[in-house]
């Protein structure tokens, strides 16, 4: 039997905490900050060197040493800045990678209904655009302290040059800060709205691409475009608000800086005229004042990016805080040994209502499936057949009653161990976007040999079709190379054959098979049923007549169960089903 994959039994990852993410890289971050401080320090020294050079000129001193120092400071500053940027890029990309992996792995472990409700496109937006915004927080982690440090150091030097001019500068900067903070507060709300709108647009676009055949067939491109345009318009409007707020910040900063400059020039000019201030000191002060401009800008843009990062973090956490389908103690649960005399599947008074549905899909359903043999579940559309199969594989959990597999309640199985016992062929015969070989081996604990794959493909009559693919078994399916509906169905069957599962669930497996393949399918299922429990949701009488046991469902309840002959004799809904198919080939 296949062993459960231990790696899949994981706990919920917990929310993203930016501080924890950053402290995980504290060594690298400190290194990046140190380099950035060195770069800023070297840049800060430049105006002082300018002062020295001006004094050299005025006193006719040789310039060589001071000019050389200035060059060293300029090149050193550029070099340190570049190295700091490389470090930050590394930290940022590693953080984004970790975050993306966490969200993707967690999403794959969410209940199916939750993933459907969230939408594939919206979930994809969290690992693309949200993760990108969050990644920028890393730059901010050095950008903010560095800018604050540079401003403080510059103000310190300015204070040393002239205290009165420094007071004028600080008052101007304080007014500026209040204005910028007001804009930033509004920006966070806007960023959250923007990211939600991105998710909604991505969701609708993905859904439309998935339904592209139908859209084309029904010339529904204008309808789809209209809906997409509405989402794109919502995104445009909310982004415009964010962009306007973003554009306001540099304008406010420029105005604030200019006001500070005017105030300093007026105060400094007056003192210069009175002889209270040296021309060289005033020039150096003005240069320092100019040098605060990029730092103040960096501070404001850093806070802006932080707001975007917070909004993205909240959206990522919305996903990460969703409960996975496995219980928290799933990984610690011992794998129960199958009980030798227990049935393969046992339903005891099971009821279930789908989320959002007003009526129960299953009501008080009870039945037994033996360890070997073919069990068919029949009934009209909407009777609850697929829901029944979903409960066996614990895609859904009963609202009341219990489902047992191999003698143990499905809730007592570690999820992975339970699913290792069951092979499931869904109605869509889903293939992954992966090679034919990978598709065939899904769910196997150990890789199959080529001869095993060839044997399974031969049984389902697919050997020639796969050989004809451009790279045979190693052809990537789902993009340029794809299979027909019937071929996909047989691939899914071959996968079940290769799976070693004790229980095989087949949801309408013959719907796309031609006569020859339907006959072949019957033989495969009969062979499988010799050693395993095969439960097949079937509409075709040809499948049902050969079943050892038939469960008749209607309106979410089991109305009767028995073999074909017994049911024809005593069960009116079954007889009607048989009569309705009497004209169909079987």
Ligand X SMILES: Nc1ncnc2c1ncn2[C@@H]1O[C@H](COP(=O)(O)OP(=O)(O)OP(=O)(O)O)[C@@H](O)[C@H]1O
> Which residues contact ligand X by CB under 6 A?
354, 356-357, 361, 379, 381-387
Q: Which is nearer to ligand X, 117 or 167 (CB)?
A: 117
Q: Which is nearer to ligand X, 282 or 574 (CB)?
A: 574
Q: Which is nearer to ligand X, 76 or 401 (CB)?
A: 401
Q: Which is nearer to ligand X, 95 or 378 (CB)?
A: 378
Tokens, residue 162: 């002239």
Sorted by sequence, the CB contacts under 8 Å of residue 526 that are 6+ apart come out as 374, 546
Buried b (16+ CB within 10 A) or exposed e, 389-409: bbbbbbbbebeebebbbbbbe
Least CB distance to ligand X at residue 403 (A): 15
From 323, 403, 324, 325, select the one nearest 362 (Cα to Cα): 403
In what helix (H) or strand (E) does residue 381 lie, and over which residues does it extend? none
Q: Which is nearer to ligand X, 198 or 391 (CB)?
A: 391
Least CB distance to ligand X at residue 356 (A): 6
Sorted by sequence, the CB contacts under 8 Å of residue 97 that are 6+ apart come out as none
Least CB distance to ligand X at residue 429 (A): 14
Q: Which is nearer to ligand X, 344 or 396 (CB)?
A: 396
Q: Which is nearer to ligand X, 199 or 384 (CB)?
A: 384
From 308, 305, 33, select the one nearest 192 (Cα to Cα): 308
Q: Which is nearer to ligand X, 363 or 488 (CB)?
A: 363
Least CB distance to ligand X at residue 148 (A): 53
Q: Is the CB of residue 308 less than 8 Å from the CB of residue 191? A: yes
Buried b (16+ CB within 10 A) or exposed e, 44-81: bbbbbbbbbbeebeeeeeeeeebeebbeebeebbeebb
Least CB distance to ligand X at residue 567 (A): 17
Least CB distance to ligand X at residue 360 (A): 8
Print the SS3 string covering 466-517.
Answer: HHCCCCHHHCEECCCECCCHHHHHHHHHHHHHCCCCCEEEEECCCCCCCHHH
In what helix (H) or strand (E) does residue 91 lie, and over which residues does it extend? helix 64-108
Least CB distance to ligand X at residue 327 (A): 22
Least CB distance to ligand X at residue 524 (A): 22
């Amino acid at each position: 039997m296949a062993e459960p994959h231990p790696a899949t039994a994981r706990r919920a990852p917990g929310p993203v905490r930016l501080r924890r993410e950053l402290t995980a890289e504290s060594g690298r971050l400190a290194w990046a900050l140190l380099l950035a401080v060195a770069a800023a320090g070297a840049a800060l020294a430049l105006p002082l060197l300018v002062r020295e050079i001006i004094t050299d000129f005025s006193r006719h001193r040789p310039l060589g040493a001071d000019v050389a120092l200035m060059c060293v400071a300029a090149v050193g500053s550029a070099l340190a800045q570049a190295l700091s940027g490389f470090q930050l890029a590394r930290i940022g990309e590693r953080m984004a990678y970790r975050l993306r992996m966490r969200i993707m792995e967690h999403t794959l472990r969410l209940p199916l209904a939750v993933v459907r409700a969230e939408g594939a496109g919206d979930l994809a937006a969290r690992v693309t655009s949200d993760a990108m915004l969050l990644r920028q927080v890393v730059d901010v982690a050095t950008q903010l302290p560095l800018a604050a440090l540079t401003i403080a150091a510059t103000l310190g030097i300015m204070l040393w040059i002239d205290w009165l001019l420094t007071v004028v500068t600080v008052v101007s900067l304080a007014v500026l800060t209040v204005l910028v903070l007001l804009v930033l507060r509004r920006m966070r709300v806007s960023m959250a709205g923007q990211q939600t709108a991105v998710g909604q647009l991505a969701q609708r676009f993905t859904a439309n691409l998935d339904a592209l055949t139908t859209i084309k067939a029904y010339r529904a491109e204008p309808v789809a475009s209209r809906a997409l345009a509405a989402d794109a318009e919502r995104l445009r409007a909310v982004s415009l608000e964010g962009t306007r707020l973003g554009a306001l910040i540099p304008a406010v900063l420029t105005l604030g800086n200019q006001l500070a400059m005017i105030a300093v020039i007026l105060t400094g000019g007056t003192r210069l005229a009175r002889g209270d201030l040296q021309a060289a000191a005033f020039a150096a002060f003005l240069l320092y004042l100019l040098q605060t401009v990029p730092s103040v800008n960096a501070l404001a843009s850093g806070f802006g990016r932080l707001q975007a990062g917070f909004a993205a973090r909240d959206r990522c956490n919305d996903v990460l805080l969703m409960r996975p389908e496995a219980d928290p103690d799933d990984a610690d649960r011992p794998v129960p040994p199958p009980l030798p005399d227990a049935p393969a599947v046992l339903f005891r008074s099971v009821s279930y209502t789908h989320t959002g549905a007003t009526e129960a899909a299953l009501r008080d359903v009870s039945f037994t499936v033996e360890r070997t043999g073919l069990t068919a579940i029949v009934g009209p559309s909407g009777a609850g057949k697929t829901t029944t199969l979903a409960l066996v594989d614990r895609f859904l959990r009963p609202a009341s009653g219990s489902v047992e597999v191999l003698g143990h309640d499905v809730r007592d199985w570690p999820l992975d161990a339970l699913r290792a016992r069951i092979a499931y062929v869904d109605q869509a015969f889903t293939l992954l976007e992966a090679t034919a070989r990978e598709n065939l081996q899904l769910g196997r604990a150990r890789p199959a040999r080529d001869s095993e794959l060839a044997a399974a493909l031969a049984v389902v009559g697919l050997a020639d079709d796969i050989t004809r693919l451009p790279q045979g078994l190693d052809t990537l399916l789902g993009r340029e190379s794809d299979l027909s509906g019937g071929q996909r169905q047989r691939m899914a069957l071959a996968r079940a054959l290769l799976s070693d599962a004790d229980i095989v669930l087949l949801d309408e497996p013959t719907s796309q098979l031609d006569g020859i393949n339907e006959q072949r399918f019957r033989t495969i299922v009969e062979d499988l049923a010799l050693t395993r429990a095969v439960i097949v949701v079937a509409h075709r009488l040809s499948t049902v007549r050969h079943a050892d046991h038939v469960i008749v469902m209607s309106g979410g309840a089991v109305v009767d169960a028995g073999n074909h002959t017994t049911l024809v004799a005593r069960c009116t809904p079954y007889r009607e089903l048989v009569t309705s198919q009497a004209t169909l080939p079987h």
